[in-house]
Every structure is written in structure tokens, then in C-alpha cells.
A = this chain, B = another copy of it.
Amino acid sequence: MSKPQHIEPRTLKGFRDYPPEVMIPRERLMETARRVYRSYGYAPIDTPALEYLEILTGKGSDETDKQLYRFKDHGGRDVGLRFDLTVPLARFAAQYAQQLGLPFKRYHIAPVWRGENTQRGRYREFVQCDFDTVGVTGVASDIEMVLVIHDLLLAVGFERFTIRVNHRGVLNGLLETLGLSDRSTEVLRALDKLTKMGADKVRAELASTAGASDEQAGKLLEFAAVTGSADEVLTAIAPLVAGSERGEASVGRLREVLAGVGAAGASLDRVRIDPSIARGLDYYTGLVLETTLDDLPEIGSVASGGRYDDLAGLYTKQALPGIGASLGVDRLLAAMEELGLVGDSKTPADALVVYFAEDRLGDYLKLAASLRAAGVGAELYPEAKKVGAQLKYADKKGFRLAVIAGPDEFERGECQIKVLATGESVTVSLAEAPAAAQRLL
């Protein structure tokens, strides 16, 4: 007989497994996001991974249409895997508008799928982490979007970050004063490339695609290059949009946002007005923002979003304005690793209870249970083995404590607790072990 053929264990191209050392900080990040979202009253929802294809197509861009995982299900229906969490929110809000009531504040943390070109280093499955407020247009929600991101990054452990805010109406106001209102898409597309391509190339593109004169292009570039504190930027921008009602109102709105963020106690040092931020050419209509880490600006925005006029126009005639943002989970985790904000532990438990006296299993079980009851995560090694081998296991997995007792210790009602990083070790009574472990963590 021939040897049994094994199927090669492997993942699909563009997909990845998350082993414990990667998944532990991911779960912690998502728990922090949930905690902060909840503290502002955002409620969780979930929606199916699979949707009718017609729900998904036409809402995104041609690019997302091309990247859709689509097929016929068992009933012959055309279906697809969701490529973002905004389309499902739009469908959900349209479907349940009556029951939900407005304002509706939700967060949604879930995987999405895009058949992307993996040569760009992108994955075909990734988690999105969105929060949105649907049904409101007031400035309080604008302010809240900034505050949520501010609180969230602090809660995750970042101190040095900048939330870059802009308002789509500011640029539109400038376009009005320049007489270029009907070229807004072309202008936005060109200005969006400023960081990547530099001023000269953008000036050329403004001329060729938007028909901007030298003077018009100059004003646009001057506008996009304004820097300084939030106050300085607003002061520099105000004259550029003077005379445009929309432009002046938008500058006023940005002032209110800054005032509100400050009133809530958030640090205004972390908030900048950045006229170069456009985001989502057709989608966003008001406030837009991006967030960069001061120590790692090159990884791009780690939290982005904005205000939109019409979330669900494809599915309902009810106008559903809203505002929301998305956390860049993978970028944040990469940054946390780079900045040493995550460990490399492969276990979520604090202590390994070493099991070497085979006939004392009951004592070990009791000891481990007493640690857990005190909130100290405790793994009991599952088989009686030499202490050395188990300490090696504890090191490899990243336990912080090893709790060691043999027949003699159990007779004396004692155990030894060893801090694995330092080798420090204390002997305590079994009754005191949970408190001692808490102290040593």
C-alpha cells in the first residue's frame, strides 16, 4: 500500500493566520475600541458577511466592484462578501429606519474582503473598526468624532499623535471665489496627490485637468500649503474664502469644532486644521479628518472619517446624513509593535502552575483555582513532567510567573512563586499565594 497522501496545510494567497502573539494585542486593541465607543453611547451591531450582490455593487467604486468576492449561492442567488462596513450600515439603516429611531449611533468591528492585488502588500481579508452617528447634522457630532479618536488613541497607549481636520466646504468656498466650482472633483483629485507628487506636478495637473490658470493654481496651492497652529491656519484661510457663504460658514464650523474639543478637556496640541485633507471625493460633504502618529508619520492615517449628507440613497428615499470614522487596525498594531507598546507573549495567562508530582493533581488544581479566583490567570501544565522542561515552556510562552510546589511543599502548605523575567523567587503559604502573585505581577 502507498503512504497516505496529506493535503498540504496552507492559507490562500493574500490571507493570513493570526497566531496568539499577534492575536493577543489585536484583541486588546479591539476591546479598547469597544470600551471607548461604548462610553460615548455607540452601540454594537453586526450584519452578514454575505449580502445580495446588488446591495454591494454600484455603491463602491469600480475598483471595489472588481475586487468583490462574488458567486451564486445554493439557491442560485447572486451574492458577494462585503468589502466594507459602510454599505452594510447604509442597507441596515434604510431597512430598519423606523424601528431604530434617530439619532442612531453604532459601532461595527468585523472582517471585510477584497480581492486586491497582493503585490501592494495588502491583505484580501482585514478587519474594519467603524463608528458612525446617523441622522444628525449638528456640530456636536463633529466634535465628538474628534474626541472619540483622541480618547481611543490615548487609551491604546499613544501620547504623540495629530488629528488633522478639514472641512470640505472650505475648499468649495475657495473654488467659488476662484470661479472653479464645476471643477471640484478634478481639483480635489490633484490636491490629494500633493504629499506624494509635490507642488510642481500638482500645478501641472491642475492646469491640464481642471483648466486652472497660473494664478488660480497658485491660490489653490497656497491654500493647501497653509500650516501652523489651528488658529493660525484658520486666520490664513479666512481671507481666501471671504465672500463665499459656504466657505465662511465652514471656517466658522471648524472654529466651533476646536472650541468644543477644548471645552471637553482634550489637548488642542493634538488637533490641527489641515486644508490639504480631502478624503472620499464624492462621499464626504462636511468635516473630514485623518490622524497621524507623530513618531511614525510614514505609516499614514490611523483613524479617518468625515461627515456625509446621504448615507443610504441607493436603498431609501429618506435622507440619512451622518458622520463617522474608521480605525486603521492593522496600521495601529504595526505602530504599536514598532513603538514597543505590545509584548510578544503567546499566552494571556499570568502564571504557569508547574505540575510535577503526579499524585498531587488535586492539590495543583486547587492551587490554580485559587489564583484564578483572585483574578490571576493561571494555566496548569497538563501533564506531570520535569520542572526544567516546564520552566522552558513558561519562558517560551511568555508567562510572567511560575508557581512551583512538590510533595514537601504541599505537606508544609507552601509554594514557591518565581518571577520569570528576574529569577526572583518567594516562598509563601498556599493561602497567601494568590495575594503574593498579585503583588508580583
Contacts and interface: CB of A to CB of B under 8 A. Distances in A.
Interface of A: 4, 6-13, 15-20, 23-24, 26-27, 31, 34, 38-52, 54-55, 58, 67, 69-75, 77, 79, 81, 91-92, 94-96, 99-101, 103, 105-106, 111, 113, 115, 124-125, 133, 136-141, 143-144, 147, 151, 256, 259-260, 262-265, 312-317, 346-349, 352, 355, 361-366, 368-369, 372, 377-384, 393, 396-397
Given A38-B349, A264-B365, A362-B260, A315 B15 contact: no
Given A48-B16, A50-B113, A39 B377 contact: yes
A299 B222 CA distance: 68
B41 A378 contact: yes
A300 to B, nearest CB: 24
A208 to B, nearest CB: 34
B40 A372 contact: yes
A346 B101 CA distance: 11
A431 to B, nearest CB: 14
A321 to B, nearest CB: 11
Given A41-B377, A49-B113, 20 more contacts: A6-B315, A7-B314, A9-B92, A10-B52, A18-B45, A24-B43, A38-B348, A39-B349, A39-B372, A40-B378, A43-B346, A44-B348, A49-B81, A74-B115, A101-B396, A133-B382, A140-B365, A140-B381, A143-B365, A263-B365
Contact of A144 (B42, B96, B380): B380
A89 to B, nearest CB: 11
Contact of A69 (B44, B51, B73): B73
Contact of A140 (B94, B136, B380, B396): B380
A81 B79 CA distance: 13
B349 A40 contact: yes
A77 B115 CA distance: 12
A19 B100 CA distance: 9
A364 to B, nearest CB: 8
A137 B385 CA distance: 13
Nearest to A95: B9
A164 B334 CA distance: 45
A4 B310 CA distance: 14
Nearest to A28: B44
Given A12-B51, A71-B71, A346-B43, A379 B105 contact: yes
A19 B47 CA distance: 8
B366 A264 contact: yes
A125 B49 contact: yes
A139 B71 contact: no
A263 B115 contact: no
A19 B366 CA distance: 42
Nearest to A34: B27
A81 B73 CA distance: 12
B383 A140 contact: yes
A42 B348 contact: yes
Given A12-B77, A12-B79, A111 B49 contact: yes
A259 B360 CA distance: 12
